[in-house]
């Protein structure tokens, strides 16, 4: 098991909305995250009422934010000694308009971690429920389910 210590650069609300369904992009030139893992994470959030666009794989430029997209990048600038994953969001008029997820290469296909970070990209914040996927210090097991 691994312990996630995450800083998600959130504003003070407990949930921030997208005004449209974002596309999900796996940056194939950087990310080691597999399409099928992202698809499972997508289904998890869709079952909870979140709208998400298609998942595509493409070569990404070095821009962190891309309007209308949640990007799964590689480690890039992630401090892998401190974090397993880190999500940043871009905002316009109080709505989330882009997401940028960095995952440590060794954890890039941990379903719980990918799902947790996708939740942050959607605007979901940490909570105080220790058994919940969005608990800040959730213990992640590399499993195929929750």
Residues 6+ apart with CB under 8 A from 66: 25, 60, 98
d(CA 51, CA 112): 19
Question: pLDDT for 49-68, tens place per residue?
Answer: 999 999 999 999 877 789 99
**Residue 95 confidence (pLDDT):** 87
Q: Contact 111/40 with Cβ under 8 angstroms?
A: yes
pLDDT in tens, 112-133: 999 999 999 999 999 999 888 9
pLDDT for 13-48, tens place per residue?
445 689 899 999 999 988 999 999 999 999 999 999
Domain covering 2-7+16-124: architecture: 3-Layer(aba) Sandwich (3.40)
- The predicted model scores a pTM of 0.84
């Amino acid at each position: 098991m691994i312990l996630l210590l995450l800083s998600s650069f959130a504003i003070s609300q407990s949930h921030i909305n997208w005004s449209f369904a974002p596309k999900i992009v796996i940056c194939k030139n950087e990310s080691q995250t597999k399409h099928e893992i992202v698809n499972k994470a997508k289904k998890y959030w869709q079952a909870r009422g979140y709208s998400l666009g298609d998942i595509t794989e493409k070569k990404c430029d070095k821009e962190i934010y891309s309007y209308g997209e949640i990007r799964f990048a590689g480690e890039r600038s992630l401090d892998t000694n401190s974090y397993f994953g880190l999500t940043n969001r871009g905002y316009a008029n109080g709505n989330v308009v882009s997401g940028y997820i960095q995952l440590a290469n060794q954890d890039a296909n941990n379903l719980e971690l990918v799902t947790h970070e996708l939740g942050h990209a959607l605007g979901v914040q940490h909570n105080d429920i220790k058994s919940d996927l969005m608990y800040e210090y959730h213990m992640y097991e590399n499993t195929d389910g929750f």
